[in-house]
Amino acid sequence: MTSKVENILQHYFGYQTFRPGQAETINHVLHTKNTLAVMPTGSGKSLCYQIPALAMEGTAIIISPLISLMKDQVDALIANGIRATYINSSISATLQQERLQKIADGKFKFVYVAPERFESSFFVNIIKSIRLSLVAFDEAHCISQWGHDFRPSYRSIVPTLKQLHNIPSFVALTATATKEVIADIQDLLHINDQCVIKTGFERKNLSFHLVKGKDKETYIRSFLKERKDESGIIYTATRKQADTLYSQLENAGYAVQKYHAGMPEFERKEAQSAFIHDEQTIMIATNAFGMGIDKSNVRYVIHYAMPMNIESYYQEAGRAGRDGEPSDCILLFSPQDIQLQKFLIEQSEMDEPMKQNEYRKLQAMINYCHTHNCLTTFIVNYFSDLSSEHSCNRCSNCQNEGEKTDITEEAQMILSCVKRMGENFGVGMTAKVLRGSKDKKLIAFNMHKLSTYGILSSYTEKELTEWIHFLIAEQILSTVEGKYPTLKLNKNSVAVLKGNRKVWMQTAPIPSNEEVDFHEGLFANLRNLRKSVADDKNVPPYVIFSDATLRDLCRYFPTSKDEILQIKGIGERKYEQYGELFMQVIQDFKKEHPEIKPKVQITNTHRPIRKKTTSESTHDGPSHIVSYKMFQSGKSIKDIATIRAMTEQTIEGHLFKAFQDGYPLLWDIFFNEEEEDVILTKHEQLEEKRLKPLKESLPEAYSYRKIKAVLVKNKLM
Ligand code: ADP
Ligand code: MG
Ligand code: ZN
């Protein structure tokens, strides 16, 4: 049995191994046991019913409340050479009749329907009369009244289904189910405890980042500069925020779309379709966007403001990385977000107990924004009622541990300046006074006579502004809202001023895809080809191949049928349709760039790869090369960071990446021979090769930068 199932996995879907939970679920279904799979978004729940159905005789009926997803799922199956169709209210009556006839003739392996379909006795009679392999309930939490998205019409069809005697088994699938919901589904569909498969809530390809005290728009711009060509969603808390951000970015020339409930339906549809078809890569939206979006190559989700609870946050952020490739989820936090969410709850029409419940959930969300522990673990604990202290090593809290700077002294200067200014001014003016600006207004107020005037003049106004925002975010400074919000000291400020409390500032580097181990030039060519093939077939590009597949093609440069079938996501059928086409592009690329070898070898042989355009010009090219050139021209990391408005860590990452691409680096400025020896010896001894334990086992003077540099140079990172 096992080998048959694995053959199907390879032949139709082009994957070599199962993901956690898949094999187990499939096995139960093959033994005609009613089964429930609780697995996170993007973990591959579809294969859990698709593979057993392909292994069995008959037609599988998939019930899904998300009409918008059906077409894509059916397209994806057809692209893999599997006969599938869907019936819902979006198709004409004639077409429905045609499809129903074919279903009655047993022509399909898969039929996707909305729950309402079972209210039609005509449909039920057809289902009754054919051979079935299984019935799947996708988004099964919707059948439970305890779920966060209860659909009564979904629950009400269960009795009808139970009366049909030709259903070998039910498979229920969901990403979000609390204990109550699981028990409810089990009860309703008669599922044994042994047939409930849970794989945990963690999604290992997502990195969570929390960014505080930054100017949000500036951060987003630097982020987009760093991650252009990638697809991403920016969620705002209100329509107004979406509109504003949209115009700012559009004016700045970014390929943006927007989506919120205040727009006419056709505009929303158009925006969604442009995004799904990779025409425009950035979607700015309120939470109205996303239900039923299955786009697998969303590489980042940025929250422009804190959402109302962890449930919504995880669901929205979780739209990143469905294809399993590394993706980033970033929350830009400012204390005003809390006021806004409180206001929204206050204004809502919920009754008092409901409101209290929402406040409680909001508090957990606020705690997430203030925790110093692992962000991933915080979320997992929230959903599973655990209190684990595991570190994911990907989130911003895990990564920046130790890379905090003590800014207590500067904080004291800022706070005493606020005090001397009579707690009567806002962020901008305070930064100007600290900086020692000659601003007229400042002089008119006699601020240049204060003892704190110019005490932080070695920093830029921008840096000072960020620090003040950071102090606000950390609740070390308060603001009084009004037409001109002013700064006020609070209990925490006093503790800092008295020296009873230290202030640590975490930097928030732009998460960059530092481990790009595939050739980006080739990737762009393949992506263009994918787009034109997809347009021809009128399907979204990710239905043809996922980003994960394209990346693999750029890692291994396959040139024969055998080789290309090894690539994840390419089965027989996809090979027949597109194999030659894509291999041709790879061949052409190799011809044009004979010096380039597959990346896998390049990192070993250490050969420089240079795209023509970047080797000639000085200021152009990928971001890391720009930093590299500035570095080679004699600028310090700190200067480059200031000039490029990035953090030193980002710049340092750029230099390392350039080295990994084959550009030479002089290592003396990072470490000396003795230090290198010490670090390598420790690395050798340590069982856990992660950065943090290594740093902890070394003397204080060994900074993260030093350690990383040694590891990069020795190809240990
Ligand atoms: P879910 O319904 O759990 O959110 P999907 O079924 O839509 O997830 O699958 C998400 C992505 O993962 C799809 O692109 C799918 O092809 C891919 N996938 C599923 N199973 C595997 C596997 N065993 N190996 C590699 N990729 C897989
Ligand atoms: Mg799914
Ligand atoms: Zn973590």
Q: Which CATH number characterizes residue 242's domain?
A: 3.40.50.300
Amino acid 124: pLDDT? 96
Q: Are 185 and 61 within one domain? A: yes
Neighbouring residues of 155: CB distance < 8 A, sequence distance ≥ 6: 143, 144, 145, 188
Q: Which H or E element spans position 283?
A: strand 282-285
Averaged pLDDT for residues 179-197: 94
pLDDT band per the 50, 70, 90 thresholds, residue 617: very low
Q: In this structure, is residue 480 part of a structural domain?
A: yes
Is 42 a pocket residue for ligand 1 (Cβ < 6 Å)? yes
Question: Residue 602: what pLDDT?
Answer: 29
- Nearest atom within ligand 1 for CA of residue 39: 3
User: Between these two residues, 645 and 299, which has the higher pLDDT value?
Assistant: 299
Q: Are residues 142 and 232 in the same domain?
A: no
Ligand 1 atom nearest the C-alpha of 22 is: 23
| 153, two tokens | 């019409």
Alpha helices in 455-578 (DSSP H): 461-473, 491-497, 520-537, 541-544, 547-556, 561-565, 572-574
Pairing of strands 196-198, 282-285: unpaired
pLDDT of residue 98: 96
Q: Does residue 659 lie in a domain region?
A: yes
In b/e form, how buried is each residue of 308-337, taking b as 16+ CB within 10 angstroms?
A: bbbbbbbbbbbbbbbbbbbbbbbbbbbbbb
Residues 164 and 217 in one domain: no
Q: Residue 703: CB partners within 8 Å, gap ≥ 6?
A: none
Nearest partner of 518 among 615, 604, 600, 595, judged by Cα:
600
pLDDT tens for each residue of 524-563: 999 999 999 999 988 889 989 999 899 889 888 898 998 9
Is the distance from the beta carbon of residue 46 to the nearest atom of ligand 1 less than 6 Å? yes
Question: Which pLDDT score is estimated for 334?
Answer: 87
Same domain, 136 and 225: no
- The bound ligand whose nearest atom lies closest to the alpha carbon of 202 is 3
**Residue 58 in this model has a pLDDT that exceeds 90:** yes
Q: Is residue 322 part of a domain?
A: yes
Using a pLDDT cut of 70, give the percent of the chain over it: 94
Given pLDDT bands bounded at 50, 70 and 90, which one contains residue 621?
A: low
Residue 208 clears pLDDT 80, i.e. is over it: yes
Instruction: Identify which has the larger pLDDT, 67 or 491.
Output: 491
Last residue within a domain, chosen from 179, 198, 217? 198
Instruction: Give the count of alpha carbons within 13 A of 155, CB side only.
Output: 17
- Please check whether residues 290 and 411 belong to one and the same domain: no
3-state secondary structure of 211: strand
Residues 148-174 have a mean pLDDT of 91
What pLDDT, on a 0 to 100 scale, did the predictor assign at position 320?
94
> Do 254 and 180 belong to one domain?
no
Mutate to test the pocket of ligand 1, among 10, 43, 64, 201 (most ligand atoms within 8 A of CB): 43
Averaged pLDDT for residues 503-509: 76
Residue 16, pLDDT score: 84
Of 315, 331, 351, the position where a domain reaches its end is 351
Both 51 and 151 in one domain: the answer is yes
Report the pLDDT value the prediction gives residue 516, as an integer from 0 to 100. 65
Residue 552 lies in a domain: no
Mean predicted confidence (pLDDT) in 5-14? 92
| Same domain as 106, residue 60 | yes
13 and 66 housed in the same domain: yes
- The domain that holds 436 is classified in CATH as 1.10.10.10
Q: Does the C-beta of 203 come closer than 6 Å to ligand 1?
A: no
- Are the C-beta atoms of residues 10 and 34 closer than 8 Å to each other? no
Domain presence at residue 185:
yes
Q: Is 32 helix (H, G, I), strand (E, B) or coil?
A: coil
Helix axes 375-384, 310-317, angle to 10 degrees: 120
Nearest C-alpha neighbor of 487 from the set 433, 406, 408? 433
**Ligand 1 touching residue 322 (CB < 6 A):** yes
Q: Determine the 3-state secondary structure of 488 from DSSP.
A: strand
Inform me whether the pLDDT recorded for 72 exceeds 90: no
The 3-state DSSP class for residue 107 equals coil
Q: Which of 172-176, 510-514, 712-716 is least confident? A: 510-514
Tell whether the model's pLDDT for residue 622 goes beyond 80. Answer: no
> pLDDT band at 462, cuts 50/70/90?
confident
In ligand 1, the atom with minimum distance to the C-alpha of 294 is 7
| Stronger pLDDT, 262 or 292, i.e. the higher one | 262
Per the structure, the complete domain to which residue 287 belongs is given by: 206-351
Q: What is the 3-state secondary structure (H, E, C) of 389-455?
A: CCCCCCCHHHHHCCCEEECHHHHHHHHHHHHHCCCCCCHHHHHHHHHCCCCHHHHHCCHHHCCCCCC
The percent of residues above 90 in pLDDT, for the chain, comes to 52
Number of domains in the chain: 4
Final residue of a domain: which of 148, 165, 198?
Answer: 198
Mean pLDDT estimate for the chain: 87
19 close to ligand 1 (CB < 6 Angstrom)? yes
Ligand 3: centre distance to CA 390 (Å): 8
How close is the Cα of 316 to the center of ligand 1, in Å? 18
User: Within this chain, do residues 137 and 51 fall inside the same structural domain, yes or no?
Assistant: yes
Decide: 39 in ligand 1 pocket, CB within 6 A: yes
Q: Residue 489 pLDDT > 50, yes or no?
A: yes
| pLDDT above 60 (res 90) | yes
* Contact assessment for residue 550 and residue 556, using Cβ atoms and an 8 Å cutoff: no
User: Distance between CA 230 and CA 236 in Å, rounded?
Assistant: 19
Stretch 32-46: mean pLDDT: 93
170-174, 347-351, 686-690: which has the highest mean pLDDT? 170-174
Nearest C-alpha to atom 18 of ligand 1 is from which residue? 44
| Closest protein CA for atom 14 of ligand 1 | 323
484 and 444: one domain? Answer: yes
What is the residue with the minimal CA distance to atom 26 of ligand 1? Answer: 15
Distance 538 CA to ligand 3 centre (A): 40
Same domain, 299 and 230: yes
Which of 65-69, 619-623, 676-680 is predicted least confidently? Answer: 619-623
Q: Whose CA is nearest to atom 24 of ligand 1?
A: 15
Beta-strand relationship, 327-333 and 206-212: parallel
pLDDT score of 610 more than 50: no
Query: How far is the C-alpha of 368 from the C-alpha of 348, rounded, in Å?
Result: 24
